[in-house]
């Protein structure tokens, strides 16, 4: 399993597990827990969630999955912009910790930029870090301009990552955000790398998959994983889906295959706007 080193020195696996839409259906609870536990056993120890996911339901799924192995995982959660004020952030963080059954988060992200000033948000993160409730902080769904504004905020250069939407059908970060992030030593964490399973199975993607004896989803995930400075957190709510995601690690796309995918899924030609799911 390839790992990355975050700016603060933490090491985490490049292929983790997302939990968006988990914890929303009671009858799916056991399968979701089993999928997460299987992923952890296979080395996918970075787990990403948010207080918004299932209104805390996803965090409760994770609580069961990591019940006897908290120290084995790198745990990430996100705070809603409406809770990004310093006092509200404390309450939101404590609520997430309770749902997760842990005393600290490894990484706490602002889910997206809202009406609370970045100054107050960073102050809240730093206070939580000082209190030992979080180890590090970062952001999510920030475009280049947002990151520039963040970088002018006192204490914000302790930011560890920016979690964004990126996949073959949504290549907007290539316009400027990826270059900015690399220049400032900020790894990107990718959510929805498979567009929630809506990748087309025909064209170059399907042809490459057939030639390799893989699935189109594995090829699409391998395409995202090709970046050495990105974490990827696809969701898998069943063990079989976890295994399919793991299979992407065995695929190293050739220059010809990458060129074929570029023809079907062109990179941005100029400026590209932030996209959020």
Helix H or strand E segment including 37: helix 29-41
- Please report how many Cα atoms fall inside a 13 Å half-sphere around the Cα of residue 36, on the Cβ side: 31
Which positions are annotated as active-site residues? 53
Q: Three-class SS of residue 183?
A: helix
Helix H or strand E segment including 108: strand 107-110
Cα 46 from Cα 33, distance rounded (Å): 15
Contacting residues for 40 by C-beta, under 8 A, at least 6 apart: 17, 47, 65, 66, 69, 72, 73
Given the DSSP bridges, would you call strands 3-5 and 188-191 parallel, antiparallel or unpaired?
A: unpaired
């Amino acid at each position: 399993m390839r790992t990355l080193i975050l700016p603060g020195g933490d090491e985490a696996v490049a292929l983790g597990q997302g939990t968006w839409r988990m914890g929303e259906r009671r009858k799916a609870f056991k399968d979701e827990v089993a999928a997460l536990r299987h992923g952890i056993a296979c080395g996918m120890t970075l787990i990403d969630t948010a207080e918004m996911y299932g209104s805390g339901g996803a965090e409760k799924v994770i609580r069961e999955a990591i019940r006897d192995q908290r120290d084995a995982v790198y745990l990430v959660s996100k705070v809603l912009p409406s809770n990004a004020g310093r006092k509200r952030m404390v309450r939101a963080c404590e609520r997430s910790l309770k749902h997760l059954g842990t005393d600290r988060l490894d990484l706490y992200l602002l889910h997206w930029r809202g009406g609370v000033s970045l100054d107050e948000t960073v102050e809240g993160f730093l206070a939580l870090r000082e209190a030992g409730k979080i180890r590090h902080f970062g952001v999510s769904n920030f475009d280049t301009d947002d990151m520039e504004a963040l970088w002018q905020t006192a204490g914000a250069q302790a930011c560890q990552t920016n979690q964004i939407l990126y996949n073959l059908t949504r290549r907007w970060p290539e316009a400027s955000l990826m270059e900015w992030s690399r220049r400032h030593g900020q790894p990107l964490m990718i959510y929805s790398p498979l567009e929630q399973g809506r990748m087309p199975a025909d064209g170059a993607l399907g042809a490459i998959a057939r030639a390799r004896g893989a699935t189109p989803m594995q090829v699409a995930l391998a395409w995202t994983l090709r970046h050495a400075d990105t974490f990827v957190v696809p969701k898998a709510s069943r063990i079989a889906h976890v295994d399919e995601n793991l299979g992407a690690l065995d695929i190293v796309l050739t220059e010809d295959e990458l060129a074929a995918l570029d023809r079907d899924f062109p990179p941005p030609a100029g400026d590209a706007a932030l996209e959020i799911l």
